[in-house]
Amino acid sequence: MEKIKVKICCGTSCFVMGASQIQILEIDPPADIKDKIEIEESRCMEHCHTNVSKYNRGPFVEVNGEVIEEANFEKVVNKIREILNKD
Ligand code: FES
C-alpha cells in the first residue's frame, strides 16, 4: 500500500502558529499510523499568502494533497486515519 504523504509547512508564519507541535509526527507518530505515512517538510507552501480568507489560517499541512487549515497534531492524525479507514 502506498504511504500517505504528509507535508508540514515549517515556514515562519506556520511555525509561530504551532507547526512545531505537528512535527512531533516525525519523531513519535501514533503506532497505528507509524509505517503508513511519509513526512516531508516545506518552507512555505504559499497558503499563507494565497488563502482567500482575510486571516492567516495556518499552520497548514497537506495530507495527500488536501490542505488542512489551522492544523494541529490531532487534526492531522484524524485525517490520516480517515484515509486509512477508507482504503
Ligand atoms: S509559512 Fe506556511 S504556508 Fe506560508
Q: Using a 6 Å CB cutoff, which residues line ligand 1? A: 9, 11-14, 44-48, 58, 60
Quote the ligand 1 centre to 59 CA distance (angstroms): 7
Give the pLDDT of residue 83. Answer: 97
Q: pLDDT tens digits, residue range 4-17?
A: 999 999 999 999 99
Give the 3-state DSSP-derived string for the chain, with helices as H, strands as E and coil as C: CCCEEEEEECCHHHHHHHHHHHCHHHHCCCCCCHHHEEEEEECCCCHHHHCCCCCCCCCCEEECCEEECCCCHHHHHHHHHHHHHHC
Domain formed by 4-86, architecture: 3-Layer(aba) Sandwich (3.40)
Q: Pick from 13, 23, 53, 57 the residue to mutate for probing ligand 1's pocket: most ligand atoms within 8 Å of its CB.
A: 13
Q: Which residues of the chain have pLDDT under 70?
A: 51-54
Ligand 1: which residue has its CA nearest to atom 1? 11
